[in-house]
Amino acid sequence: MEALSNLESFVRSAEQHSFSAAARLLALTPAAVSRNVAQLEKNLGVQLFQRSTRKLLLTEAGEQFLQAVRGNLAGIQTAIADISQNAGQPAGTLRLSLSPGFGLEHILPLMPEFLARYPAVRLDWQLSNRQVHLVEEGFDAAIGGGIELAPGVIARRLAPVHVIWVAAPELLHERGHPSHPAELSQWPAVQMRSPQSGKLHQYGFKGPAGETVTPILNARFIADDPDALTRAALLGMGVAALAMPHAVAHLQSGRLVRVLPDWYADLGSINLYFSSHPAGASLMPAKTRVFIDYLVAEFERLHLAARFRQNEPTRVR
């Protein structure tokens, strides 16, 4: 701000050909304007004015400098006034990364109310199953799991990631109900391939007696997108290991049935990732701060964490 004040004193003095006249425009004393200009000359290492008792005259360097900065000064002043006036007010584009299915099913329905509360915020979503680099790729936030916590990145837990076995009623009618995960190796299955590593997902399922089993599946359909697996399971193409957020609505409707209800895999949590500010949360962009607060409050209000727990697959409100 001191540099801007020095620039403004220089431009107004050049326009008025007088420190006194510039001082009246800037509501400063002539001595203060003179000091500002002298400090600017010292910082630049050049003389900007030829001073006399009668009139200020620009040097050649001063004339060149005036032409360079005069047109930009108003824009800088406007930008500073705008950001000061809007400081703390949620505004601007909020870039968010999240998976397509989870985002469209569970997050998008929450956004009309968010945008109604904060009309100056614009949402820019990247729907992808890949793990992004939050800071390097310029995201304000991300929702998912397994994102590396680089320096300055914070993870806020939203809900557990519990994976369960599901199948279409038609498939169960044809084959019956298995009693142990090892039996699933004889079933047709749909299986997830990691978008990051290309490896097939194999989960260790925990049983009621503390046993952990990782079934070897007879995968008839493989995809790198959980929504594709969900659709394949709905079509009766095989038994599927789905995370609760992808399965819960279909369990409620009866289009999918839980297989081996005493078994599940715990993959950690769904997190909300965002960058911290070195000076603290008070200097975090307001658009990001209100989005975090809103999303956490909505997860609590809708009991989404409880809906996504494996022991309550159909208790949906």
* Beta-carbon contacts of residue 246 (< 8 Å; ≥ 6 apart): 101, 102, 105, 226, 227, 229, 230
CA distance 110 to 117: 12
- In this structure, what is the dihedral angle of CA atoms 31, 37, 41, 42, given to the nearest 10 degrees? 50
DSSP calls for 52-76: -SS-EEE-HHHHHHHHHHHHHHHHH
Q: According to the model, what pLDDT value does residue 164 have? A: 97
Strand 49-51 and strand 121-127: pairing? unpaired
Q: According to the model, what pLDDT value does residue 317 have? A: 33
Structural contact between residues 270 and 263, judged by C-beta atoms closer than 8 angstroms = no
The phi and psi torsions of 220 (rounded to 5 degrees) equal: -100, -15
pLDDT tens for 159-178 read 999 999 999 999 999 999 99
Smallest CA-to-CA distance from 215 within 182, 167, 166, 242 is with 182
Question: Both tokens of residue 1?
Answer: 């701000």
Q: According to the model, what pLDDT value does residue 141 have? A: 94
CA distance 132 to 148: 9
Q: According to the model, what pLDDT value does residue 209 have? A: 86
CA distance 309 to 243: 10
Give the CA angle between residues 13, 77, 45 to the nearest 5°: 50
Measured in whole angstroms, the distance separating CA 175 from the mean position of its chain's CA atoms is 44
Smallest CA-to-CA distance from 46 within 34, 35, 38 is with 38
Structural contact between residues 55 and 18, judged by C-beta atoms closer than 8 angstroms = yes
Burial class (CB in 10 A: 0-12, 13-18, 19+), 300: exposed
**Helix (H/G/I), strand (E/B), else coil: 292:** helix
Question: Both tokens of residue 165?
Answer: 């076995």
Own/partner pairs, 200-209, CB within 8 angstroms, 24+ separation: 201/241, 203/163, 203/241, 203/265, 203/267, 204/265, 205/163, 205/165, 205/181, 205/260, 205/263, 205/264, 205/265, 206/263, 206/264, 206/265, 206/266, 207/181, 207/262, 207/263, 208/262, 208/263
Q: According to the model, what pLDDT value does residue 82 have? A: 57
Global pTM?
A: 0.69
Structural contact between residues 162 and 212, judged by C-beta atoms closer than 8 angstroms = no
Using the structure block, give the residue that is written with the tokens 């279909």.
Answer: 250
pLDDT tens, N- to C-terminus, the chain (317 residues): 678 888 889 998 998 889 998 898 888 899 999 999 999 999 999 999 988 767 788 999 999 999 888 877 777 766 665 565 555 678 889 999 999 999 999 999 999 999 999 999 999 999 998 888 887 788 899 999 877 777 778 999 999 999 999 999 999 999 999 999 999 999 999 999 998 889 999 999 999 888 999 999 999 999 999 999 999 999 999 999 999 999 999 999 999 999 999 999 999 999 999 987 544 444 578 899 999 999 999 999 999 999 999 764 443 33
Q: According to the model, what pLDDT value does residue 85 have? A: 53
Q: According to the model, what pLDDT value does residue 77 have? A: 67
Half-sphere exposure of 28 (CA within 13 A, CB side): 22
**Helix (H/G/I), strand (E/B), else coil: 310:** coil
Q: According to the model, what pLDDT value does residue 88 have? A: 61
Structural contact between residues 66 and 11, judged by C-beta atoms closer than 8 angstroms = yes
